[in-house]
Amino acid sequence: MKTEVRNAAELAAWLTHPGPAVIQDLDLTAASAEIAKRDLTGCAFLGCVMAPDLAKAAGEAHCVVLPPIEKSDDAPFNPYSVSMYTPNELYADYDPDDAGTYDKYFDRKVYLSYMSLGPPAELKPVAADVLLLRRMHDATIATALDGFVKGARGRIVAIMGGHDRARNDALYLDVAMLALELTRKDYVIATGGGPGLMEAANLGAYAAGFADPEAVVKASVEQLKAAPTYKDANWLKVGYKVWKGLGDPVDAQKSRNLGIPTWFYGHEPPNLFATDIAKYFENSVREEGLLAIAHSGVLFAEGNGGTVQEIFQDACQNYYRTYAQLKSPMVLLGTAYWNSAYSDYSNPADRRRPVYPVLKKLAFEKGFADYVHITDSTADAIDFIVKHPPVKA
């Protein structure tokens, strides 16, 4: 593996012990002369500012050199960032009391550069260089996410569920409390980073770092009810004010949790309670990656087509032991929803998804039936996760 150089301290260490390295998103102007004296064979410079002498030396050493890119309407993002996003970064320039800022904050500007609003909403055609910048962005986000995952020591639990579930639904509070309890047991919560039950899970995990977590969850949910779903005009405004009103957690480390949204579904704004946000352009990369990192299990609350897709995508990872030859627990929350004896397929109002029998059939075939569980109890769901750590099989 090449050394990663992403800050001043790592650069100083590399100058002492040079070798093949990826040097990323740094202003190297002051250090260019010193760097140019080293053997640059096998090095890559991604988005770095450099003096002409270093540019010449890098060219002579046949280094990969991708220069900094000036932001544009088509590419208003940094494709070489060394870190994931924070809510403050995604919502930079947003003012909840100024409706005129809604299309001007960073996350929204990137979405508008990516998708036409339609109808129908569809990807905007762009030149090949912009496509390459988006791929580079997703690759650097994936690298930053890898660092987060290593720090989580295999303790990530993903919570999936409907993006359209209202904040005033009893299940929203249940999922928030479930996420809080898992966080207290030293698990790291990951979600798709969007609204609905994803927001509930991120909120519960975020509350863990405050002095009275249960009170934070309950008070926040009461305030959030003022705009129940992301389709309500004030959904973001209300969420932003609740988040800001909480102030900083007493223990920021305990509050850390993960959101992995996508600009492909950018009409659903990312929720504000995920502290670390790996936002992608490519939804397929995001979906696979979110389930892949959840070695300690995935909990599926009631959801729609996306959640059903995630159930069987996760089942496929268990079926083939795709990642580290592991089988990991899968918990479906809601027996009547996921395992109803009858569902009226012709009635759109019947939202039940009786997928459990098919899931169980796959699980019996490939030896992970003991790692599949369905329940109506959040306490039982937590207990199953705790008692079924990931195992090689």
pLDDT digits (tens, 9 = 90+) for 338-357: 999 888 889 988 989 999 99
Output the pLDDT for position 179. Answer: 98
Output the pLDDT for position 393. Answer: 81
Output the pLDDT for position 294. Answer: 98
Output the pLDDT for position 184. Answer: 98
Residue 146 pLDDT greater than 90, yes or no: yes
- Provide mean pLDDT across the span 144-172: 97
Residue 121 pLDDT greater than 90, yes or no: no
Residue 100 pLDDT greater than 90, yes or no: yes
Residue 320 pLDDT greater than 90, yes or no: yes
Residue 115 pLDDT greater than 90, yes or no: yes
pLDDT digits (tens, 9 = 90+) for 269-317: 999 999 999 999 999 999 999 999 999 999 999 999 999 999 999 999 9
Question: In the chain, what are the domain boundaries?
Answer: 3-66, 138-392
pLDDT digits (tens, 9 = 90+) for 235-252: 999 999 999 999 999 999
Output the pLDDT for position 341. Answer: 87
Nearest CA to 240 out of 45, 108, 354, 388 is that of 108
Range 138-392 classified under CATH 3.40.50.450:
yes
pLDDT digits (tens, 9 = 90+) for 36-80: 999 999 999 999 999 999 999 999 999 999 999 999 999 999 999
Grade residue 120 by pLDDT with cuts at 50, 70 and 90: confident
pLDDT digits (tens, 9 = 90+) for 356-377: 999 999 999 999 999 999 999 9
Output the pLDDT for position 17. Answer: 97
